[in-house]
Each structure stands twice: as structure tokens, then as C-alpha cells.
Amino acid sequence: VSAQNPGSVAVAVTDGIPILELAVLCEVFGIARRDLADPWYEFRICAADPGRTQVGSGFIADTTHDFGDLVNADTVVVSASANVLDKRPAELIDAVVEGHRRGARIVSICAGAFVLAAAGLLDGRRATTHWMHAPLLARRFPNVDVDPSVLYIDDGDILTGAGGAAALDLCLHVVRRDLGPDVANAVARRMVTPTPRPGGQAQDVQPGGQAQGIESPWPTDGGDGLAPLLDWMLGHLGQPLTVSAMARRAHLGDRTLIRQFQTVTGSTPLRWLIAQRVRRARQLLESSDLSVDRIATEAGLGSPANLRRHFTRSVGLSPSDYRRIYRLRHSPQRRGTDLN
């Protein structure tokens, strides 16, 4: 049980705020999981006018907290609202500015980035939003370095996330930062979601696969000179790969490769590599009968002990447990059985 105090998280509710992102916030921060970390977050939902606020999908939020409680928080979260693209509540912008001035960490989800941008907090920074809104954000706020190709961006005191399910990845990232990976993974497991995805993962790309989104608003041709290297790495996970070897293959210096990795994947070479190796190991555990020992070699993790270390840290289960549970769940006789 972690003893670090994660402080308070305040969410601004506005007319028409989408309930998925709101629900994710409530689930991750609003449920006091004191068996995992004590104290847990102090969570509050804040409205410009306390009382009833019409949120999305016909639901109504009823809260006693106003924006005064918002600016006092350690972490301030802003999501989308009904017409945030066109008109953004001035009092919300003011509250965000004030919160940031007081040292709060500011988090935006989906079109909430428009509020942060309007508050001037994103000037000169890298930020992301839902890919559908990214071109508009970039056009309206030219000083913001909009990157629509990632799930979220952690810029220290300001974090921006894409919409939808990526909100979960962002929230779990925040938990990881505040309370450590073990707590974040435990929360993910309780929510029965797969391992949290790193922020650098593309909004419309499966690692190792092809881009699927034909509606993707950003050019797939431009810029990403690292793609061939990443593909090659995915094809050679089993062999030892050092940063220098990768850099040579990409005709770059070590330092430059690390920087490129940062901008393209949001991760670093080794972290990305380990994540892919664990992914590969998981596939092999699911689809083959290879021994754990063999899978460790095959996935490039070397020794079984090393596989276990990385696998447990990112998946939350040991490799053998993972295989056992996966098999139970997918065995024909027991289809549909719940194994929580």
C-alpha cells in the first residue's frame, strides 16, 4: 500500500460534457481504493453553478462544488463540453488560469484542450486532443504544437489527452505518476481493462500493424522517418538490440535516435522495445504451448526471470498465471465464465 499523498482531483462539469470521459474520471479517481493506496485521491466534481447540470446522454450531474473548489485542487481536469469548439465558458477559462497560477496540475481530455489553449497554457507546448478536433485546434491556436498522433502527452504540469477510451490511459498514467506502476496496474486490473497503453501509442494505429483510419486527419506520408526502423525492430525482437545498433541502422546518432523516439512514439527506445517484447510474449503465451523459458528467448527478454519481471510489471500477472487464466477464459467448455 502506497503512502504517498496523491492530493485532490477536481473535474469541471459543463453542459453536455460527454459521460464516457466523466465516468472514467469518476472510476479512476473517485473510487477510494484505500487498499491500494492510502490516502487515495480526494475527488470532487465542480460546476460553475452548483446544483444540477445537464451533462451528456440525458444524464444530470448534481454537485455542491463550484469553481472555487476547482482552483484549489492539486489536479484540475477539463474535458469537452457541449460546444467547447466554438464558445468556451469564460469562468472556466479563468478558473483554469487561476488553478495553474496556484501550481495545480492541469489535465485536459478530448476537446478540453481548447479551454487550456484559450487560457494560453498550451502556448509553445506539445499538446494533443481528439484527432477529429486536432486540425481545428492547430488552426485556431497556432502557438500550440498539436500532435494528434498520440493518446496523451505528459508535459509535466500540463497533460493533454485524446478523447474516448484514451481518457482511461491518461488517467492511469496519472495514477502511475502519483502512486507508482503497481497501483496503476492494479486499478487497470480491477476495471478489467488491458494494460494501460503508453502515451506515445498512435490514436489510429495498432503497433506493428498498418494505419487503419482512412479518415485520419494527419498525413501518414510526412515526417515519420523512424517507421522503417520500428518495423524492423518488431521483426527482430528476438535478437539483442542496443540503442547504438538501432541508431546505426537508422543512420542517426544515438542522441538523435532517442530524441526521434521521444517525438514519434512518446517513449524511449528501450521502454518501447520492452513494451513490444512483453506484447510478443503475451501473444506467444496465448497462442502457443512454448515453455516460458522458450518464450523469454523468443521475445528477446533473455532469461525467464527477466521476462517475469517485465511481464508482471506491465500486465499485472505472472506469465504462467496469465496463460492459465487466458486458457480458462477461452476454453470452449467454460466460455463466458467470469473469473474475477
Partner DNA sequence: GAGTAATCCCGCCATC
Partner DNA sequence: ACGATGGCGGGATTAC
Q: Which of 52, 102, 259, 294 binds DNA (CB under 7 A)?
A: 259
Burial of 124 (0-12, 13-18, 19+ CB in 10 A): exposed
CB of 252 to DNA, least distance (A): 4
Contact flag: residue 265 with DNA (CB under 7 A): no
Q: How far is the CB of 201 from DNA (least distance, A)?
A: 16
Stretch in the footprint of DNA (CB under 7 A) among 19-27, 68-76, 106-114, 268-276:
268-276
**159, 9, 117: which is closest to 69 by C-alpha?**
9
For the bound state, the minimum distance from the C-beta of residue 321 to DNA, rounded and expressed in Å, comes to: 17
Amino acid type, 39: P
309 lines the binding site for DNA (CB under 7 A): yes
Q: Where are the alpha helices (DSSP H) in the chain?
A: 19-29, 67-71, 90-101, 112-118, 134-140, 166-179, 181-190, 227-235, 243-249, 254-265, 269-287, 292-298, 304-315, 319-330
Rounded least distance, CB 173 to DNA, Å: 15
From 55-63, 230-238, 258-266, 324-332, span contacting DNA (CB under 7 A): 258-266
Distance CA 337, CA 340 (A): 9
Segment contacting DNA (CB under 7 A): 62-70, 76-84, 105-113, 251-259? 251-259
By C-beta, is 220 or 306 nearer to DNA? 306
CA-to-CA distance for 110 and 167, rounded, in angstroms?
8
- In total, the chain counts a number of residues equal to 340
* # residues contacting DNA (CB under 7 A): 25
How far is 275 from 159, CA to CA, in rounded Å?
22
Residue 217-246 contact track with DNA, rule CB under 7 A, x = bound? ------------------------xxxx--
State yes or no: residue 271 binds DNA (CB under 7 A).
yes
Instruction: State which of residues 135, 303, 329, 331 lies at the interface with DNA (CB under 7 A).
Output: 303
Q: Are 28 and 171 in contact (CB under 8 A)?
A: yes
Which residues of this chain interact with DNA, rule CB under 7 A? 241-244, 252-256, 258-260, 262, 268-271, 274, 301-303, 305-306, 309-310
